[in-house]
Amino acid sequence: MTLPFDPLAHIAVDSRAIADAAHDRLDAPIEFCPGWDLGDLIWHVTAVQSFWAQIVERRLTDPAHVVRPGRPPAADLVPALRAASAHLVEVLGAADPHTPVWTWATQQDAAFVIRHQVQEAAVHRVDAEHAAGRPTGIDPVVAGDCIDEFLHVSLGAIATGQRPLLAPLHVAAADTGQTWLLEPAGDRLSVRREARAAPDRIEGPAADVLLWLYGRRPVQALTVTGDPSMATTLRAYAKTD
């Protein structure tokens, strides 16, 4: 899949922004990750990026073979993130996107890692800059692709043993023109890129829709048409932190 933006550039820029936000503020609480401070967030992103760099660089098909580094002292957290981010971008840039590797998704290749790490860095940049008192946004084109990946891949990997929705739900990114139709399919969701509107609809700027799916925006930031409980059900089904 060819993305309409440079994914490696966005991973690099957003990761640097996370590190910059943490300067002298490692104890700042992360509102959307209860119990975490900026130091915890920095280490989380560092560990995630180190994990996926190893998966792709070593072409691992079993995550048990990943070497997990220990958390460094507070003074070394930001440098560790900068090093991990630079290495991840270098590894992903050198990789053939079709290289088979382990992932938690049905898509088992380096392309999945590249696409999902854009989402990881973008959302956690919002977390970090919000904690540092300088809120930022996400480019609409990037946010639109992140929504698409989230709905098709992340939600597709979830099965709860119950129906995720009681009826079709239309999700729309108003500023990019993207639309998705979500329909119950047993205990999973069927997702299609489709303009046909369902009676129940959630719409807003792409960044706000994405951040709502991740629990970083209230539903009041969006326009909800039809049964408001559908939005609550979808958000609960996503179970993202």
Domains of the chain, start order: 7-131 (1.20.120.450), 140-238 (3.30.1050.10)
- Tens of pLDDT, residues 59-115: 999 999 999 999 999 999 999 999 999 999 999 999 999 999 999 999 999 999 999
In three-state form (DSSP H/G/I as H, E/B as E, the rest C), the secondary structure along 135-190 is: CCCCCHHHHHHHHHHHHHHHHHHCCCCCCCCCCCEEEEECCCCEEEEEEEECCEEE
Counting beta carbons within 10 angstroms of the beta carbon of residue 90, is it exposed (0 to 12), middle (13 to 18) or buried (19 or more)? middle
Contact 126, 144 (CB under 8 A): no
| Residue 239 pLDDT | 66
Give the span between the Cα atoms of 193 and 133, in whole angstroms: 36
Angle between helices 38-57 and 77-94 (to 10 degrees): 30
| Residue 241 pLDDT | 46
Give the span between the Cα atoms of 209 and 176, in whole angstroms: 12
Secondary structure class of 227 (helix, strand, coil): coil
- Tens of pLDDT, residues 124-183: 999 999 999 988 889 999 999 999 999 988 887 676 667 778 889 999 999 999 999 998
Q: What own/partner pairs with CB < 8 Å and gap ≥ 24 does 103-107 have?
A: 103/55, 104/157, 105/153, 105/154, 105/156, 105/157, 106/153, 106/156, 106/157, 107/153
Q: Which two tokens stand for residue 147?
A: 């929504």
Q: Which two tokens stand for residue 80?
A: 């560790």
| Residue 205 pLDDT | 98
Q: What is the β-pairing status of strands 188-192 and 201-204?
A: unpaired
- Tens of pLDDT, residues 176-234: 999 999 988 887 788 899 877 789 999 999 999 999 999 999 999 999 999 999 999 88
